[in-house]
């Protein structure tokens, strides 16, 4: 891969945007995205197992709701430090370390003896997933500079695949072997994925720096400072505290509370309130993942049009469909259809454009910090989404709780997204 002739790298000679190089880059990105499929499978699995874990460990609904979403606290706390860490370490190394951490944590979850150690394992799981997600966002949006929205949304596309496989496969293993075996099986699946990344993914792709000289791909040296003249001329915010990134981050926080309220306790609602079997609940939840596959369309729309308008419309659809999911509708087909609509709107469109939107709103040289801000804003508040929805449902009922957390929070996010001015055209941040 790095054969040289007269001291010149083969990849330097063919250039960063040649057809051969880009095909290999796409192939390596696909390998990295495979690891994110596993990330999504691990992340979605526990909500299907939650009722069984709750019975064995003697937990309340708010407690198991907290356990299903506490991993996002680890994701949120680790994201910004990871964004700064990426300026010092190889991005591929961060991906691999994250993969090891979350795979080990999902296995340990099967051996939890009570709420305290269950929360610790789920928290550590989130740290590993945050490291992986933040690094993958930085890799994709840096190398595929002219298609940052699609690069970011491709992560959610693969999340959707994992969200389809995880609940369905997990429910099958659960029915045959109990709630612990799926956790161990999914965790051990990280081993072959780790080997694939080490064998096939190269640094010229993962460490590419868009601020190169003369269009040649540059593996970014960790200790080279940003040139102040070039940095000042870049479009976009120069600080995480500028108005645009801050408003989009707050919008992301409200959207995250809606997303993870659903992901954390919707399967519990189906199984305990409506009497669905684990297989039926897993199928309904997996349609959310199918909706998330639309994120490539969402990323394309955000690149082509004003991403804030795409966000506002999608969040209104999320508000309506999210409320209907927690009404007394008892048809599996209706729940599957509504989960697809909710997943397509809030994951396929909203997640894709919030992740890319925050990055677009900032200077190109701050892409890693922008990805860290997005992950922090989404996952830190979401850690308490399951507990909040469980507590609201205990006091108000499931339908009223969803009206507040899924519907009202989505509308607040829509208003904040529209207020994120000055307007950032997708072309401004390319």
CATH number for position 71: 1.20.1250.20
Q: Using 50, 70 and 90 to split pLDDT, how confident is the model at 234?
A: low
Among the residue ranges 150-154, 169-173, 274-278, the one predicted with the least confidence is: 150-154
Q: How far apart are CA 160 and CA 158, in angstroms?
A: 5
What proportion of the chain, given as a percentage, has pLDDT over 90?
A: 30
- Say which residue, 185 or 85, is predicted with more confidence: 185
Identify which of 240, 245, 259, 249 has the alpha carbon closest to the alpha carbon of residue 383. Answer: 259
User: Is residue 424 domain-resident?
Assistant: yes
Q: What pLDDT, in 10s, does the model give residues 170-228?
A: 888 988 888 899 999 999 999 999 999 999 988 888 877 655 434 444 444 333 344 44
Residue 352 CB contacts under 8 Å (≥ 6 apart), including other chains: 149, 152, 153, 156, 295, 296, 298, 299, 302
What integer is the mean pLDDT of 306-324?
A: 93
pLDDT at residue 341 is higher than 90 = yes
Please tell me the predicted confidence (pLDDT) of residue 425. 42
pLDDT at 42: 78
For 213, residues 6+ apart whose C-beta sits below 8 A from its C-beta are: none
Residue 16 and residue 217: Cα distance in Å, rounded?
5
Average pLDDT over residues 116-139: 89
| Number of domains, the chain | 1
Distant-in-sequence, close-in-space partners of 62: CB < 8 Å, separation ≥ 6: 386, 387, 390, 391, 394
3 occurs within a structural domain: no
Does residue 302 register a pLDDT over 80?
A: no
Answer for the pair 362, 237: CB distance below 8 angstroms, yes or no. Answer: yes
Q: What gap in Å lies between CA 272 and CA 11, rounded to an integer? A: 57
- Residue 402: predicted pLDDT: 95
Residue 221 lies in a domain: no
Q: What pLDDT, on a 0 to 100 scale, did the predictor assign at position 218?
A: 41
CB within 8 Å of 143: residues ≥ 6 apart = 25, 29, 151, 205, 208, 210
Q: What is the mean pLDDT of residues 315-331?
A: 94
pLDDT at 238 (0 to 100): 61
- Residue 98 resides in a domain: yes
Provide, rounded to the nearest whole percent, the portion of the chain with pLDDT above 70: 82
Domain of 125? 19-211+233-429
How far is residue 272's CA from residue 268's CA, in Å, rounded to a whole number? 6
Q: Residues 115-128: what's their mean pLDDT? A: 92
Is position 224 within any domain?
Answer: no
Q: Using the predicted structure, report yes or no on whether residue 229 has a pLDDT greater than 80.
A: no
The pLDDT, as a whole number, for residue 7 is: 43
- Domain membership flag for residue 220: no
Residue 323: which pLDDT band, with cuts at 50, 70 and 90? very high
- Report the candidate in 86, 67, 319, 282 with the shortest Cα–Cα distance to residue 182: 282
365 contacts 211 by C-beta, under 8 angstroms: yes
CB crowding 333-358: b at 16 or more within 10 Å, else e: eebbbbbbbbbbbbbbbbbbbbbbbb
Q: So what's the pLDDT on residue 219?
A: 42
Q: What is the pLDDT of residue 336?
A: 94
Q: For position 19, what pLDDT does the model report?
A: 64
On the 0-12 / 13-18 / 19+ scale of CB atoms within 10 A, 404 is middle
Asked if residue 159 belongs to a domain, the reply is: yes
pLDDT at 317: 96
pLDDT exceeds 50 at position 14: no
In a domain, 225, yes or no: no
Highest mean pLDDT among 57-61, 166-170, 229-233, 311-315: 311-315
Task: Tell me whether residue 393 is exposed, middle or buried, using C-beta atoms within 10 angstroms of its C-beta: 0 to 12, 13 to 18, 19 or more.
Answer: buried
- Over the chain, what HEC string results? CCCEECCEEHHHHHCCCCHHHHHHHHHHHHHHHHHHHHHHHHHHHHHHHHHHHHHHHCCCHHHHHHHHHCHHHHHHHHHHHHHHHCCCCCHHHHHHHHHHHHHHHHHHHCCCCCHHHHHHHHHHHHHHHHHHHHHHHHHHHHHCHHHHHHHHHHHHHHHHHHHHHHHHHHHHHHHHHCCHHHHHHHHHCHHHHHHHHHHHCCHHHHCEECCCCCCCCEECCCCCCCCHHHHHHCCCECCCCCHHHHHHHHHHHHHHHHHHHHHHHHHHHHHHHCCCCHHHHHHHHHHHHHHHCCHHHHHHHHHHCCHHHHHHHHHHHHHHHHHHHCCCCCCHHHHHHHHHHHHHHHHHHHHHHHHHHHHHCECHHHHHHHHHHHHHHHHHHHCCHHHHHHHHHHHHCHHHHHHHHHHHHHHHHHHHHHCCCCCCCHHHHC
Residue with tokens 């949304």, as numbered in its chain: 153
pLDDT at 237: 58
Q: How confident is the model at residue 364 (pLDDT cuts 50, 70, 90)?
A: low
**Separation in Å, CA 395 to CA 47, 68, 83, 400:** 22, 20, 39, 9
């Amino acid at each position: 891969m790095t054969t040289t002739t007269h001291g010149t790298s083969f990849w330097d000679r063919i250039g960063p945007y040649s057809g051969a190089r880009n095909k290999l880059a796409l192939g390596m990105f696909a390998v990295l995205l495979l690891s994110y499929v596993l990330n999504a499978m691990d992340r979605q699995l526990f909500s299907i197992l939650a009722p069984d874990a709750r019975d064995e460990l003697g937990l309340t609904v708010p407690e198991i709701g907290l356990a299903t979403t506490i991993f996002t606290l680890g994701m949120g706390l680790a994201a910004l430090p990871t964004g700064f860490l990426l300026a010092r370490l190889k991005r591929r190394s961060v991906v691999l370390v994250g993969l090891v951490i979350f795979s080990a944590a999902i296995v340990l979850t099967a051996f939890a003896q009570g709420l305290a150690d269950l929360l610790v394992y789920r928290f550590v799981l989130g740290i590993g997933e945050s490291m992986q997600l933040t690094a993958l966002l930085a890799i994709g949006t840096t190398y595929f500079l002219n298609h940052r929205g699609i690069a970011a949304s491709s992560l959610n596309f693969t999340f959707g695949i994992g969200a389809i496989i995880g609940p369905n496969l997990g429910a099958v293993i659960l029915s045959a072997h109990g709630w612990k075996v799926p956790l161990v099986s999914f965790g051990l699946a990280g081993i072959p994925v780790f080997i694939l990344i080490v064998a096939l993914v190269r640094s010229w792709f993962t460490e590419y720096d868009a601020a190169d000289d003369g269009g040649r791909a540059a593996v970014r040296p960790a200790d080279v400072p940003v040139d102040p003249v070039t940095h000042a001329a870049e479009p976009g915010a120069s600080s995480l505290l500028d108005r645009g990134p801050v408003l989009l981050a707050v919008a992301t926080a409200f959207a995250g509370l809606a997303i993870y309220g659903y992901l954390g306790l919707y399967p519990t609602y189906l199984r305990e309130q409506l009497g669905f079997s684990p297989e039926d609940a897993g199928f309904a939840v997996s349609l959310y993942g199918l909706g998330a596959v639309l994120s490539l369309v969402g990323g394309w729309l955000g690149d082509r049009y004003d991403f804030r308008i795409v966000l506002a419309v999608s969040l209104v659809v999320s508000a309506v469909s999210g409320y209907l999911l927690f009404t007394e509708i008892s048809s599996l087909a209706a729940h599957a259809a509504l989960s697809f609509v909710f997943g397509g709107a809030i994951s396929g469109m909203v997640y894709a454009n919030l992740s890319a939107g925050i990055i677009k709103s900032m200077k190109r040289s701050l892409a890693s910090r922008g990805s860290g801000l997005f992950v922090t804003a989404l996952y830190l508040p979401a850690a308490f989404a399951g507990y909040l929805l469980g507590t609201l449902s205990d006091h108000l009922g499931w339908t009223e709780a969803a009206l507040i957390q899924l519907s009202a929070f989505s509308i607040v996010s829509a208003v904040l997204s529209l207020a994120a001015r000055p307007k950032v055209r997708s072309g401004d941040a390319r």
